[in-house]
Structures are given as structure tokens and as C-alpha cells.
Amino acid sequence: MAKTLEAHDKLIREIFEGSYQFEIPDYQRPYAWTTEQATELFDDLYSAMQDARVSGASSQYFLGSIVLIKADRDPKSFVVDGQQRLSTLTILLAVLRVLMPNSASFLTKYLYKEGNPEWGELNEYRLKAREEDADFFRTYIQEQGGLERLVSSTDKLKDSRLRYRENATLLFEKAKALSPADLNALWKFLANDCSLVVISTPDLEAAYRIFSVLNNRGLDLAPIDIIKAQVLGLIRTTAGDVKSRAYAKEWSRIESSLGRDAFGDLFGHIRSIYAKKKQKYILVKEFQEHVTEYKTPIDLVDKVIKPYAEVWDFVRDADFEATEHAETINEHLSWLNRVDFKDWVPPALVYFKRFRQQPKRLAEFFQSLERLTYFLLVTKVGINERIETYAALTKEIEPETFKGDLAALTTLTLTDAQKRKFVAALDGDVYDDLPKARMALVLRLESLVRAPGVQLQNAVSLEHVLPQTPPDGSDWLQWFPDQNEREAWTHRLANLVPLDRNKNSSASNYDFAKKKNVYFKGKGTASPFVLTQEVRSEDKWTPAMLIDRQERLVGVLKKHWALDVPPTESVSKAPETTTATQWKN
């Protein structure tokens, strides 16, 4: 009888040696991993390899899970979930083959089984991309000599094919920078110590049900449930049933107060507070390993989970209450919560927990934390460096000798070079270059130019006053006859205004006078945003006007984040690195 579900922990060499012939169905989205995800994968692998080398311990490094539709004993495997990971690992294998020529024939077998032309046998590829990309992927990734041609190519590519080239180039450069010994160690670590959980079922409906369970928060059993069972079991063993029932009730109260999702997030933040590094294994394993109070479960609940849950409750909702400075603290928290990452939360929780009764210090800390966080956001610092930075900040806060003085938190301080980099990014293309930051930046600017105490509304979209594609014969082309100048202004702060849900961008290509009429016509329908209202007071939207507006708006952010620096010296300096280990070098 055919099995309905199988789940196995498989080493990478087992996955790519022939037991599976992966195929990406055409209904899957195109390959979409960017260089950010590829960088994260490579850096994590290299870091884990180094850790294993230093410790001398052999332990599997978990790379996640994949979901397949696969019949018993049939190697053909349709990938329901895992395309991005399998494709990027294939690219990395192709890179290693190029850089390790003595092992090229050996590495090739992990990309395809070579056929015998004399017998009419074709190559059997370990991974077949979506039909529209399959030939391209075979030619430029899997076949020998293809990756070199792809990396050196200047052909105009788009969508998945562009992603293939970008990630192949990135992984090639990163691997090429390694010594031969490190390169060989990385390959051996990848093959022999890295694994994926392979979940397979012959049924499409069952495969998608598994996929949904793995990718939704509404799980029947989550890491926090496993931790709960273990902790309450330890309490029952050491303190008896009555104590265990009391703590079970308290656990449920905290979870209900925060909500299940936020409660689950809290355990991830607590892990980060203790581990001070990126999570590499499942949460349960790392929580047990790093959180020292785990072995004394009553202390874990009373001294860790409960106090951090109280702090997390008002940090995430920006509703801290105090006799003074509460409004300022909550304003900074609200802007931190608008950032698309939460790596700032662990040091925020630690500082809040220690200095909750000192609101003046809290206000100063969160002002500086907002600045650091928006610096990391706007300058597009990578996830690993970001985590290292906040871990360094947490380390500075924790010692008993630290009394809350911000002068002792060197991680919060930006150097002059970092301030210049921050300002340059704010003064540049914030729309295309900073898609994850642009709305938060414009709304932060809006909050700073409006009268104190006036409530800020959320924008639905950002409007380009000077259109992205002005029509022929329009005023725009008379005011901006030079295409380069026009394009240089289109996506900068001075040309962007927020729109509320009562407006829309149907007027985007109108001439300036008509556009203003659409945005502001009718009694009582004026935009609630000061930045948008300012457009109404202008007669023309010209380069000269934008120069003044840009300087003024960037100046508002510079003042708010204290980014003024002395004039740059004429002597050229090497660019400043911003890794956590060299944060102030």
C-alpha cells in the first residue's frame, strides 16, 4: 500500500545524488530570491562551517524544509514548496564546480547524471526549472561552462533569469574570495553536515495542505506549545501538580493577553536576547540551549517570560504609560514599529525592562534607537550585520555596572562618515532605491512638519508630483526639458507626497494646474497631509523650486536625527565599514 506521507531529514549530498529528480511545476511563481537572500544563505553556511571547525563538533545544520508530490520509489518529485532554496543551492553547486576544477567531474553528478549518447541516454538533471526557464537553467547553471558565460554576460535579462545571473555572480564572487582550504571545507560542510527535511506525499491536495500548515501562523502545534509542555512538565516534576496548574494558568493568561502570534514572537526575541546571534536551528532547540533559566522553569516564567511579556505588550503597541515622557517614548516606538524588520526589539526589551522606572532615560534611548534603526534601514544594511549590531547593543546594556547612561552605548552613536552616508541616502532616490523605507520616511517627515499634537493619518500611496512618465506637450517637459535632470528629481523626497484613501493617483500624468485641482477640489476634501497641501501653494513645479524644497525637507530629517557633521575633508578616505565587529573603525 502506498504511503500517504513521508518526512525524512536528508543531507544535501543525499538530496542531489539521484534519489530525487526535482521538477518545478509551471503553476509555481518564477524564481524570485534576490541577492539579499542569496547573501544570507552563503553567509550562514560559511559562519556555521567556521563554528563547526572551531568547536570540532559534528552537528547537522538545518536549511529548512521542502514539500514534494512524489510517488513511492519514483524519483520524479514535483516541488510544492522549496523552489527558491533548491534553485539557489544548485547555483552554489555550479559555482563550486567552477572554482574547484579538480573536483569538477565529481561535483557534476550533483547537478546531473551524465547520459551515454551511444546508447541514446540523455543527461538526467537533478532539478528542472519551470518550463519557460528550464533550457536557460540547464544551459547556464547546470551544464559545464555555462555559469562562466552567464556571469560575464551583459545581455539584458529580466525576471527569474535576471535573478539567476545576479545570484550566480554574487555567489561566485563570495566563493572566489575564499582560500582553497576554506572552499574545500565549505563544500564538505554543505554536502555532509547540512540537511533539509523532505516532506513528500503522492497527493496534490495533501501536499498543499502540508504547505499551508508549514507557512501559516495558525498551527495546531507551534514551538511555544512544545516549550510550554516541557516547562510545565519540569515544574510538575520538581514542585508538584498544584504548582504546575498554577503556572499553566499564568502561562495561558500571558498568551491570551498578548495574542498567540505576539506571544510566539516574544519567544524569538527572548532567544535573541540570550543568544545574541542569528537563529540557525529550530526555536525550541535554541531556546533550550541559550536561555539559562530554562533549567529552572519557575524562574523562567517569573523572571523572564512574565516581565518581558509586560514590556513587549506596550513596545509592540506603543502605549507605554508614565507620569512623564510617555508621549515621546510612544512616538519613537510607533516609528520603530513601522520598520519592516524587528531586530531592534531585543535591545529595546532589555533596556525597557531595566530602566522602566526612568522615563527620561527611556525617551533618550528610544530617540537614539530610532536613529540607528532608520540608518540601518535607509543604508540597506544586510540582515546578518543588522543582527550583529543589535546584539552588540544588547551586550552593552546588560552589565550590572551599566546605569543607563547613553554615553556608554557606543553602538548607538553614528560616526561622521555614517551620518554622511545616511544623509546621502535621504537626499537620493528614495522611491526606487528604498522600497522598504520610502513610505515610513515620507510619513516620518510628514509627522515632523505638521503642528505638534496633530494626529497623523496613514497614507494609502505615495504620489509623484512630477510624473514618472510625463506626456508629450505637457508643462512638465517645458519645466524639465533635460531628461537626466527630470529623472534625477522624479523619485526624491521633494517630489513625493502621501495620498489618503479619499484620493487616488488617477491624476498622476495631468499638468500641474489640473493635478492640483484634482487633489484639492471641493470643500472639505483637501488632503490631510501637510506635505501634500504644500503643493497647492506652488504656481509651478520647477527644478529651482525642487532644489529649495529638497534642501528644506532633508534638513528636517537631519535635524531630527542629529546628522549634521563638519565639512568633508579634501583628503580622500577609504569607505567606512559598518559591521558590528568594526562598527566604530
Helix 260-275 vs helix 223-239: crossing angle, to nearest 10: 80
The helix or strand, by DSSP H or E, that contains position 151, with its residue range, turns out to be helix 146-152
For range 92-112, the mean pLDDT: 93
Give the cell for residue 301: 516564567
Query: What confidence category does residue 309 fall into, taking pLDDT thresholds of 50, 70 and 90?
Result: very high
Of 454-458, 483-487, 504-508, the range with the highest mean pLDDT is: 483-487
Tell me if 531 sits within 8 A of 446, measured CB to CB.
yes
| Contacts of residue 196, Cβ cutoff 8 Å, sequence gap at least 6 | 9, 10, 12, 15, 62, 63, 64, 65, 66, 82, 85
| pLDDT tens-digit series, residues 189-203 | 999 999 998 988 887
Residue type for position 581: T
Q: For residue 8, how many other CB atoms are within 10 A of its CB?
A: 12
pLDDT (mean) for 509-529: 72
Residue 23 is classified by DSSP as E
All residues at 6 or more sequence positions from 308 whose CB lies less than 8 Å from its CB, including other chains? 266, 269, 270, 273, 349, 353
| Pairing of β 112-113 and β 76-81 | unpaired
- Which element (helix H / strand E) includes 161? helix 159-176
Position 77 scores a pLDDT of 92
If you count DSSP H runs as helices and E runs as strands, how many of each does the chain have, helices first? Answer: 26, 10
How far apart are the C-alpha atoms of 537 and 539, rounded to whole Å?
7
**Dihedral sign (CA 321, 324, 325, 327):** positive
> In DSSP terms, which residues pair with 199 in a beta bridge?
7, 67
pLDDT at 526: 66
Q: What percent of the chain has pLDDT over 90?
A: 59
Quote the cell numbers at residue 397.
546594556
Provide the b/e sequence for 381-411 (b: ≥16 CB within 10 Å).
bbbbbbbbbbbbbbebbeeeeeebeeeebeb
Instruction: Read off the pLDDT band of 581 (50, 70, 90).
Output: very low
Burial 42-79 (b: 16+ CB within 10 A, else e): bbbbbebbeebeeeeeeeebbbebbbbbbeeeeeebbb
> What average pLDDT does the segment 205-212 reach?
62
CA angle 13, 14, 18 (to 5 degrees): 105
- The whole-number pLDDT of residue 225 equals 76
More confident residue, 442 or 458: 442
Q: Which three cell numbers stand for residue 368?
A: 537614539
Among 58-67, 334-343, 460-469, the range of highest mean pLDDT: 334-343
Closest CA to 349 of 273, 259, 256: 273
Instruction: Evaluate if residue 244 carries a pLDDT over 90.
Output: no
Q: Give the pLDDT of residue 582.
A: 35
Above 70 in pLDDT, residue 25? Answer: yes
What pLDDT is stored for residue 575 in this prediction?
Answer: 37
Paired with 498 in beta bridges are 462
Neighbours of 1 (CB within 10 A): 4
The answer to whether the CB of 381 falls within 8 A of the CB of 390 is: no
Whole-number pLDDT of residue 282: 78
pLDDT tens readout for residues 397-426: 999 999 999 999 999 999 999 999 999 999
The better pLDDT of the pair 261, 391 is held by 391
Supply the pLDDT for residue 572: 36
Average pLDDT over residues 468-480: 90
Q: Residue 341: pLDDT above 60?
A: yes
pLDDT 10s digits, 348-381: 999 999 999 999 999 999 999 999 999 999 999 9
Nearest by Cα to 346 from 378, 386, 301, 293:
386
Concatenated DSSP letters of 308-359: HHHHHHHHHHT----SSSHHHHHHHHHHHTTSS--TTHHHHHHHHHHSTT-H
Whole-number percent of the chain with pLDDT over 70: 89
Across 43-48, average pLDDT: 92
H-helix or E-strand spanning residue 45: helix 35-55
pLDDT category at 94 given cuts 50, 70, 90 is very high
Query: What pLDDT does 8 receive?
Result: 86
Q: How many CA atoms lie within 13 A of 202 on its CB side?
A: 9
Q: What is the mean pLDDT of residues 174-179?
A: 96
Q: What is the pLDDT of residue 91?
A: 97
The three grid cell numbers given for residue 262, joined into one nine-digit string: 505576539
- Residue 342: how many CB atoms within 10 A of its CB? 16
Task: Specify the pLDDT at position 211.
Answer: 60
Work out the mean pLDDT of the chain and round it to a whole number. 87
Least reliable range by pLDDT among 62-71, 452-461, 514-523: 514-523
- Work out the pLDDT band at 219, boundaries 50, 70, 90: very low
State residue 521's pLDDT score: 60
